[in-house]
Amino acid sequence: MMLLMLCGLLAALCLVWVVTPPTAPASPQGARAQARRSGATPLEVARMVEQLATVIGSGASIRRAWGAVARSLPVGELRELARAAASGADPRRAAPGRLHGSETIGSLGAALAVCERTGAPTAGMLQSLADALRDLHDASLARRTAFAGPRSTARILLVLPLAGLGLGMLLGGDPLRLLLASPAGNLLGALGIVLTAAGWWWMRRLIHQADPPRGSHVDPSVVLELIAGALDSGLPLSRSVAAVAQALPAGPDAQLLGRSAAALEAGLPAALAVDDLPPAFAPLGQSAVLAESAGADLSRVLRSAARDGRRGRARYAEVRAARLAVRLVLPTGITLLPAFVVLGIIPTVMSLLGGTFALTTTGSMLP
């Protein structure tokens, strides 16, 4: 009896896990509730950056602008950040709670550092950053929506072996007792658990490959926006790339950009100077070659490439989610369906045949 109660509780927990949506896009009310719990959403950071750009555009100094923004913000981590920045602190170091080390605050700190190093117009740079953060937020919501279906499908399929046990009980068999009380059942149970665990690992690996977690680095499209803003100050490409590389957090992107800036400063052709950059910075190399050969407006080309990259992320996420849905068929057929048969069908048939055989034997012994 106790065993049946535990199995029922386990089935109920699995049902709750399956029904609960894995990654549902937040509504405006949910976003505000999440902001109260975890600090601020990327969209709220974008709004704060836009407010800061508006105040600076009206002629206020950076500290005065931070103070005005701090007075307009509700109580929370963003308000603490604005107050600290109004006193002269670097936003990246003064960011409290979960804002500290986040991608949005890292982008904001890098933009302010580039303006300070190059003399680029702060209001224009921050407005471009706010637009970029909004685009990235929209792309993130589109990605979550695209992958919600495959993730839910994976959850449902992982409960399939347990559903086999329930189906066997509904058919009148006792597969659970057979799995626990007989050597053959123990072997079937161990095999079913191994197959289910393998299916879980395989599906989890496929999902992570299709939808890898994002780091806290500055987005490449934002980096292109920062280089375009530095170019607007009148600096050549080499010094603009160097200023952005120095403003970025220490990491591979900053190192590669610094190396490319040094190569451009040494007079190497643009195609060779940017050859080592990762694919995410391919528009920088193409734009540099175009400007070198035709004298095109490099900052405008970079901003267009950055916007195109952000807008294409939603479509790319839909393509990856569709591919994932197809690839999930493979672990289902190789691991989870056999686990369903091993844990549900075979024990049910064995228990039913065992009961039938016992009744037949008893009947033949009666006079």
- Hey, where are the domains in the chain? 39-140, 220-312
Cα 262 from Cα 241, distance rounded (Å): 9
Asked whether residue 126 carries a pLDDT value surpassing 60, the answer given is yes
Cα 118 from Cα 219, distance rounded (Å): 20
39-140: CATH topology: Receptor-associated Protein (1.20.81)
pLDDT digits (tens, 9 = 90+) for 127-163: 999 999 998 888 888 888 888 877 787 777 778 777 7
pLDDT digits (tens, 9 = 90+) for 256-288: 888 888 888 888 887 788 888 888 888 887 777
More confident: 212 or 336: 336
Residue-by-residue DSSP string for 212-250:
PPP-SSPPHHHHHHHHHHHHHTT--HHHHHHHHHHHSPS
Question: Any idea what DSSP says for residue 345?
Answer: I
Give pLDDT, residue 9.
Answer: 43
Give pLDDT, residue 270.
Answer: 77
* Neighbouring C-beta atoms of residue 133, cutoff 10 Å: 26
Minimum mean pLDDT range among 112-121, 131-140, 222-231, 296-305? 296-305
Instruction: State mean pLDDT over 285-294.
Output: 74
Give pLDDT, residue 56.
Answer: 93
CB 47 within 8 A of CB 130: yes
Instruction: State mean pLDDT over 325-348.
Output: 84
Write the single-letter amino acid at 319.
V
Minimum mean pLDDT range among 3-17, 144-158, 296-310? 3-17
**Six-digit token pair at 282?**
């391919």
Alpha-carbon radius of gyration of the chain: 29
Cα 273 from Cα 301, distance rounded (Å): 18
Cα 95 from Cα 92, distance rounded (Å): 6
Question: Any idea what DSSP says for residue 26?
Answer: P
Is 39-140's fold the same as 220-312's?
yes
220-312: CATH topology: Receptor-associated Protein (1.20.81)
- Residue partners of 126: CB distance under 8 A and separation at least 6: 49, 50, 52, 53, 56, 108, 111, 112
Q: Name the nearest CA neighbour of 129 among 261, 303, 284, 279.
A: 303
